[in-house]
Amino acid sequence: MQWETVIGLEIHTQLATKAKIFSASSTEFGAEPNTQASLIDLGMPGVLPVLNREAVRMAVRFGKAIGAQVAERSVFARKNYFYPDLPKGYQISQYELPVVGEGSVEVMQENGSGKVVGVTRAHLEEDAGKSLHEDFHGMTGIDLNRAGTPLLEIVSEPDMRSAKEAVAYAKKIHQIVTYIGICDGNMQEGSFRMDANVSIRPQGQAELGTRAELKNINSFRFLEKAINYEVGRQIEVLEDGGRVVQETRLYDADKDETRSMRSKEEANDYRYFPDPDLLPLQIDAASIAEVVAEMPELPDARRARFEADYGLSAYDADVLTSTRAQADYYETAAAAGGDAKLAANWVMGELAAALNKQGLDIGESPVAAATLGGLVARIKDNTISSKIAKGVLAAIWAGEGDADAIIEARGLRQITDSGAIEALVDEVLAVNAEQVENYRNADASKQPKMLGFFVGQIMKKSQGKANPQQVNALLRKKLEA
Ligand code: ADP
Ligand code: MG
């Protein structure tokens, strides 16, 4: 039997607002427990939530970024359940009428062609608090700082057909929400959390299989592993004559397996109803137009522009637009360097390698974008060779100054004076009279390699500073004379 995998993702993105979705408390990460939870976040009797406009704007920005319909009218509902980190006994979310309707994104498949993945909806909701088990022996601590933090839950169609495709989709959503600045994308801090709905069906069957929902995955690597484990488990169940039950499962990264949390029968009945404390959310065309007018360039458009305007390959454009910070860095370096392709090579080559080695992000680069551009400019105008430039980059990295200062201080300026080069050539030819004879008598096919010997000697003599093109040209002229 050939099985087909079907995956739909629900992604919780934490919106990068300063204040919470229904109160003025700060959303800053890492504060002392329970110092950022107001009476509203706790749902005390008699208090009233007030919707944060910025959270709404961010939801609209996302809707417009994925070509979705933004609802003129959407409704906040209470999702009722009991949990210690949810003191008011319900979460405010959107249910039947979400703020963002159907849209889509395009992801790259393994075979290199694009695939459109449908987004069913995206809705605004508040986060719950956190239960802390580690530092409390035999007890659980409750931290309500996160209660009321705004989330946008993005729900996909069941359009993905492999773990890799699910990862590609999740990365695309991550790229979009960080590009448009609505989420910091920090997965360690829980700003981007994924639930994967996974089912399998016989190849060719139209009807979907029964799904399991893998909860709260916070890395792309775990997403891929959790789905692959789960697909294997479901195949085994079905091939052993059993049936998959609809349930929620938890991925255990240490054991690399998924475990049942609760089945459909045990699932909560949330008894959703419209929250009487909040008016329906009305968004008029003018405010949508305002958001559209402020929309930054989206990653796909930027990638296409990098190919068209800078003449970069599809691969280079893809790498250089992977994050907004990376793309901004590149564009600044390219402008300062005066050569887009050369700048791309240096950003993706030497600089990326150095950053990698130290585990640094582009945003943490000790070499500023304009400074790297300054180095590129000196390669382009032949002040230094690429080889010398590597040493200069290391010196910039070490804080010795910019390219011009280092080239001056170390006397690295390339020798382009034809008289000086001729003197070097003559000197080397004079002490290697035998090799010169050999060269002149050699077969034309052997000469290029022999020429390399003389070039090497001259470069050594000039400490790498002689202009290689000039050296080559002059040598050839003299040897053939
Ligand atoms: P619920 O209301 O239980 O959250 P939804 O219908 O909203 O269920 O679906 C939640 C997610 O599960 C969506 O991303 C959807 O694409 C996905 N999904 C639904 N059915 C399946 C299935 N049979 N296999 C895989 N994914 C599915
Ligand atoms: Mg759901």
The protein residue with its alpha carbon nearest to ligand 1, atom 24, reads: 199
**pLDDT tens track for 184-207:** 999 999 999 999 999 999 999 999
Rounded distance, CA 201 to CA 211, Å? 10
Q: Which position has the token pair 């448009």?
A: 180
Q: What is the DSSP letter of 295?
A: P
Split at pLDDT 50, 70, 90, the class of 469 is confident
**pLDDT tens track for 331-384:** 999 999 999 999 999 999 999 999 999 999 999 999 999 999 999 999 999 899
Rounded distance, CA 475 to CA 390, Å? 26
Please report which ligand is nearest the Cα atom of 120. 1
The DSSP H or E segment spanning 105 is: strand 103-108
CA of residue 120 to ligand 1 center, whole Å: 10
**pLDDT tens track for 288-302:** 999 999 999 999 999
Give Cα separations from 87 to 31, 160, 404 (angstroms): 20, 37, 62
Q: Is 118 in the pocket of ligand 1 (CB under 6 A)?
A: no
Buried b (16+ CB within 10 A) or exposed e, 395-413: bbbeeeebbeebbeeeebe
pLDDT-above-90 percentage for the chain = 87
DSSP letters for 422-464: HHHHHHHHHHTHHHHHHHHHS-TTTHHHHHHHHHHHHHHHTTT
Rounded distance, CA 195 to CA 83, Å? 19
Q: Is 8 in the pocket of ligand 1 (CB under 6 A)?
A: yes
**Three-state SS for 143?**
strand
Helices (H), 53-105: 53-65
What pLDDT sits at residue 463?
A: 87
Query: Angle at the Cα of 10 (from 6 to 12), degrees rounded to 5?
Result: 155
Split at pLDDT 50, 70, 90, the class of 109 is confident
Q: Is the pLDDT of residue 144 over 80?
A: yes
**pLDDT tens track for 52-78:** 999 999 999 999 999 999 999 999 999
Atom of ligand 1 nearest to the CA of 9: 14
Split at pLDDT 50, 70, 90, the class of 464 is confident
Q: Which position has the token pair 């959703």?
A: 272
What pLDDT sits at residue 378?
A: 96
From 3, 153, 159, 197, the mutation candidate for ligand 1 (largest count of ligand atoms within 8 A of CB) is 197
Average pLDDT over residues 397-401: 97
CA of residue 13 to ligand 1 center, whole Å: 18
Query: Half-sphere exposure of residue 215, counting CA atoms within 13 Å on the CB side?
Result: 8
Split at pLDDT 50, 70, 90, the class of 17 is very high
Atom of ligand 1 nearest to the CA of 198: 25
Atom of ligand 1 nearest to the CA of 159: 16
pLDDT-above-70 percentage for the chain = 100
Atom of ligand 1 nearest to the CA of 157: 16
Q: Is 155 in the pocket of ligand 1 (CB under 6 A)?
A: yes
